[in-house]
Structure 1
Amino acid sequence: MGIQVWFIVLGVGAMTLIVWDGKRRRLKQRALSAAGISHNAHAAGSAPIPDLPFEAMLPPEADTPTATLPVNIECISGGSRIGSATHILGKVIADEPVLIKGRLEGTLIAPNHPVSVTASGHVASYIEGSCVDIDGYMVGTLKANTKATLLSRARLQGVVEAPRLECKAGAWLQIDVAQAASRQSVAMVS
């Protein structure tokens, strides 16, 4: 085969991938609207969520790696686990600890138990738990009844409501911090 034929084959292949990606995006939008979740959905009383994909909110990579050791939050014994190949659209209410390794687009409420999002976890919209540890990506409202911990690989954009907030070096934040009666606007990058 000549070089021209190879270019034609590559062009047709690239166009096919572009069409498939467009169809996948349309199906995802239909699934979101069928589940009653708009792409800009947010919890009542919280700040609106920017219309950005998780990948668009990543901070620029640092030239030097962080010196902090990764914290293992996968040591929750028992409870519910959302695996890395799982994508949930909708509302989850749990009366046990929850570990998120996959994607959750919607609401997670476990007010009396710890909630953890691992480095591979992606959450959009709302999380509520007694202690919430984030090491992955989150866009939306995080409500911790006792303490919120943002670990070194955390990428968080939205609102944090917690009586105590711990932020490890390396976490990337663009948040509003809300306490019981007052709400302060804060944007931090570390």
Structure 2
Amino acid sequence: MGIQVWFIVLGVGVMTLIVWDGKRRKLKQRALSAAGRPHKAPAVDSASISEHPFEAMSPPEEASAVTSPAIQCMPGGSRIGSATHILGKVIADEPVLIKGRLEGTLIAPNHPVSVTASGHVASYLEGNSVDIDGKMVGTLKANTKATLLSRARIQGIVEAPSLECMAGAWLQVDVAKKVNLHKIAMVS
């Protein structure tokens, strides 16, 4: 066979692979849209955290449909709804559920704080126990336990005596464990 025949065979093979890849991508997009999750193309450029904190995060595309326990609705406490965008400082003496966007500080040191899959938090978040299933950029401080569920996208610093991370969570963090130091004085 001549070189022209090899180029034709190679060209046909490459075109077949391109068509198969296009069909695979189309099926993947249909599966994601049927599951209620819109397909997003990966980010090309990365903005600085201070300018656009949530756009700076570009976690890898989800390879499989990993399901995790959803954040349970609490009977009482404060709720930041999905249509709410708060800029500033929130101090709560009750449980807090975040479904919307908070850019600033949230402090509830004696109560649980939960961020649902639609929730976005930037800057500082502190709670007794913290469950994250949404996006967080900044410092996360949990006084007893921090739980990162499968849809969590965290960038910044996590400080907690106990950290639980479910499969599928995406982290780009520094982890600090609070250490209780006991000073012993020796008297003679």
TM-score interval (norm. to shorter): 0.5 to 0.7
1 CA distance for matches of 2:91 and 2:83? 20
Contact 1:80 1:96 in 2 (8 A): yes
What do the CA deviations read for 1:91-147 (whole angstroms, capped 9, x no partner)? 000000000000000000000000000000000000100000000000000000000
Equivalent residue number for residue 124 of structure 2: 126
**Bigger Rg, which one:** 2
Matches within 5 A, 1:175-186: 175-181=173-179
Q: Percent identity over the alignment?
A: 77
2 CA distance for matches of 1:172 and 1:145? 22
1 CA distance for matches of 2:85 and 2:58? 20
Q: 3-state DSSP class of the match of 2:55?
A: helix
2 CA distance for matches of 1:99 and 1:118? 7
2 CA distance for matches of 1:69 and 1:60? 16
Report the Cα offset of residue 51 of structure 1. Answer: 4.9
**Structure 2 gap segments, 5+ residues each:** 1-47, 181-188
What do the CA deviations read for 1:7-61 (whole angstroms, capped 9, x no partner)? xxxxxxxxxxxxxxxxxxxxxxxxxxxxxxxxx8xxxxxxxx6655313313121
Pick the aligned partner of 1:104 from 96, 102, 105.
102
2 CA distance for matches of 1:108 and 1:138? 12
* TM-score computed with the length of structure 2 as normaliser: 0.66
Equivalent residue number for residue 8 of structure 1: none
Contact 1:107 1:125 in 2 (8 A): yes
1:159 counterpart = 2:172 = no
Equivalent residue number for residue 90 of structure 1: 88
The one-letter code sitting in structure 2 at the alignment partner of 1:65 is: S
Matches within 5 A, 1:48-87: 51-62=51-62, 64-66=63-65, 68-87=66-85
Q: 3-state DSSP class of the match of 1:55?
A: coil
2 CA distance for matches of 1:180 and 1:163? 5
Moved over 4 A (4+): 49-52
1 CA distance for matches of 2:138 and 2:112? 18
* TM-score computed with the length of structure 1 as normaliser: 0.66
2 CA distance for matches of 1:181 and 1:164? 11
1 CA distance for matches of 2:175 and 2:52? 20
Equivalent residue number for residue 16 of structure 1: none
Contact 2:68 2:166 in 1 (8 A): no
Q: 3-state DSSP class of the match of 2:111?
A: coil
**Structure 1 gap segments, 5+ residues each:** 1-39, 41-48, 183-190
Q: 3-state DSSP class of the match of 1:149?
A: strand
Report the Cα offset of residue 181 of structure 1. Answer: 4.9
Contact 2:128 2:142 in 1 (8 A): yes
Distance 1:181 1:74, change over 3 A: closer
The total of aligned residue pairs comes to 133
The one-letter code sitting in structure 2 at the alignment partner of 1:126 is: Y
Q: Kindly report the root-mean-square deviation, in angstroms, between the aligned alpha carbons of the 2 structures.
A: 1.9
The one-letter code sitting in structure 1 at the alignment partner of 2:95 is: P
The one-letter code sitting in structure 2 at the alignment partner of 1:111 is: P
Contact 1:148 1:166 in 2 (8 A): yes
